[in-house]
A = this chain, B = another copy of it.
């Protein structure tokens, strides 16, 4: 597995990670299986919804206690629908001493959990101004992605398909459209991955990393799936770096009949 070493680590602000698989902590049946899955994934960056962390009562167990000590914790603003809420949650996270890294989510639809493009950009500008390292969840919109990079985001995180849908990457070219326009910070596919193959597809298409939560937590065997995701991300990344062959059509698109209609 020596080739693996030759890939560059991914940089997010001042952080560097060798693993290009980031994972979430929601939707597990319990903290123990979550911890096992995090370990099996080989991840170095784990996102946590601040509202799910027990800050109030130090006598009760906290999700954070179950995370391996070597992973970086990435607090997120899941559940925020306004710039003000997102900023408040980010400030709260920083106040706990976790640091200035934040995964920004400003949601515009309670059913789809789809980002609000306008508020997401505004909150990014605000948080960057406040000194945060902002990894921003966004739509697969190449123009918005460029605006987010220009606003100072440390990573742009387009959805592959709606959160928790497991539909995979609805528009594979979208990843590369964004990569062509976001050139200074990583592009991380966040949301929609349903199985390990989806993660391989995203990475082979040029994503710098993927963030996976539901696909691991709600697999029949979350720990085995976490391992699968680790291999899939390495496989897809390596396939991208190795330069895959082009697709070749096997049928011609037009015919002698084409254009025969006349209209005098």
Chain A interface (Cβ within 8 Å of chain B)? 1-4, 6-7, 36, 40, 108-109, 112, 114-118, 121, 139, 141-144, 146-147, 161-162, 164-168, 170-171, 173-177, 179-181, 194-197, 199-201, 203-206, 214-215, 218-225, 227-232, 234-236, 238-255, 257-263
Contacts and interface: CB of A to CB of B under 8 A. Distances in A.
A140 to B, nearest CB: 9
Most chain B beta-carbon contacts within 10 A, residue among A4, A200, A261:
A261
Nearest to A169: B197
Given A196-B238, A261-B241, A165 B112 contact: no
A225 to B, nearest CB: 4
Nearest to A236: B197
A232 B166 contact: no
Contact of A114 (B143, B161, B206): B143
B220 A259 contact: yes
Contacts of A251: 173-177, 179-180
Q: Which 4 A-B pairs have the closest CB atoms?
A: A220-B243, A108-B143, A196-B239, A228-B238
Contacts of A180: 251-252
